[in-house]
């Protein structure tokens, strides 16, 4: 369980944040159930902690003024990089702050640091940006207005508005692309998409949900990471860890009692990384009036590690169909774009 502490000021990477906002901090020790057989903490475990921090701070802010009570629901997670692995026995420090609000959404930035409690050494493991929308407690299909935040500088609001418009456009484009389904193939060849693709079917129970009957975003992300991890392990047959997650888009709520199918398939491989597309479909099995729908989607990137924790080469993916070849080229484009961005950031500034 995460232990949260509310603060009126927040420090990120040792620097005071000069925004007028609420802050959340949490600590949690990593246990064997949180990690794989090599002792590396699952990416899904960290994603779940990140989402819990974001949900608490967003819900608290959206209820900070008099009016209709609400709960904040996760709509999107921007690209999240796993900068350093976290291991069993280390303590995760999670801190969150509200950085922008639109009329109907809240942007939250979350940082995760790991602490070796024997030496006291700390290191940054994750930085994530999440977007939440406030849903009325009387009617969870109704989106309420968000109380504004006060910015210390005009530029902060303008930069936040640009991020808001960019993520809104991306969510709309992604939703229209989500029509395909992962189909099983008999006797697939090694290193093909069909060979490693995997699916998990999960009945949504009360423990997966908020008090208002829909699934926690962190629960969904943890299941998505589990499926992506199985795909990666099947492909390279080594210890694998989550390296990054491209934007996770939540297209619709998943309610208690629904059956969800989480499907993962390899889309692209570089020399040392694997991109895996994960799709979440929700099936309201007890309600014949409602059809199966796409609830969430994302791209996960994994790397293969030796027993000493060193990066290993990845078997190259063999796309067979025209759709697989198209997805491979799209994945290659995302890989090259991110590689160029990292190289640009690494160059010394004049």
- Per the listing, tokens 């939440």 go with 132
Sequence-distant (6+) residues with CB within 8 A of 254 are 204, 214, 215, 220, 260, 280, 282, 295
**Could you tell me which residues are beta bridge partners of residue 318?**
192
Active site residue 225: yes
CB of 154 within 8 A of CB of 270?
A: no
Active site residue 66: no
Q: Which of 36, 178, 191, 283 is catalytic?
A: 36
Q: Which of 34, 225, 246, 281 is catalytic?
A: 225
Provide the annotated active-site residues: 36, 225
């Amino acid at each position: 369980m995460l232990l949260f502490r509310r603060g009126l000021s927040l420090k990120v990477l040792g620097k005071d944040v000069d925004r007028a906002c609420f802050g959340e901090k949490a600590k949690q020790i990593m246990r064997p159930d949180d990690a794989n057989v090599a002792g590396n903490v699952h990416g899904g475990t960290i994603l779940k902690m990140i989402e819990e921090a974001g949900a608490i701070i967003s819900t608290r802010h959206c209820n900070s003024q008099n009016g209709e009570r609400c709960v904040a629901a996760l709509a999107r997670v921007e690209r999240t990089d796993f900068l350093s692995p976290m291991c069993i026995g280390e303590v995760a420090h999670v801190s969150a702050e509200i950085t922008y609000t639109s009329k109907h959404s809240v942007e939250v930035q979350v940082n995760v640091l790991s602490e070796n409690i024997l030496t006291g050494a700390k290191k940054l493991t994750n930085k994530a940006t999440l977007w939440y929308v406030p849903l009325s407690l009387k009617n969870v299909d109704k989106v309420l207005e968000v109380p504004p935040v006060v910015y210390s500088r005009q530029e902060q609001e303008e930069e936040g508005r640009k991020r808001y418009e960019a993520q809104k456009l991306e969510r709309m484009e992604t939703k229209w692309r989500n029509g395909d389904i992962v189909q099983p193939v008999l006797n697939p060849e090694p290193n093909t998409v069909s060979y490693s693709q995997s699916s998990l079917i999960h009945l949504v129970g009360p423990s997966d949900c908020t008090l208002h009957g829909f699934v926690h975003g962190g629960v969904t992300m943890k299941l998505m990471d589990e499926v992506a991890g199985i795909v990666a392990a099947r492909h390279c047959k080594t210890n694998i860890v989550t390296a990054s997650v491209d934007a996770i888009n939540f297209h619709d709520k998943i309610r208690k009692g629904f059956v969800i199918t989480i499907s993962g398939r390899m889309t692209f491989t570089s020399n040392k990384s694997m991109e895996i597309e994960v799709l979440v479909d929700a099936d309201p099995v007890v309600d014949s009036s409602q059809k199966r729908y796409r609830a969430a989607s994302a791209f996960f990137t994994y790397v293969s590690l030796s027993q000493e924790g060193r990066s290993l080469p990845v078997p190259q993916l063999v796309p067979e169909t025209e759709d697989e070849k198209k997805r491979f080229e799209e994945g290659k484009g995302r890989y090259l774009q991110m590689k160029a961005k990292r190289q640009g950031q690494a160059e010394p500034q004049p």
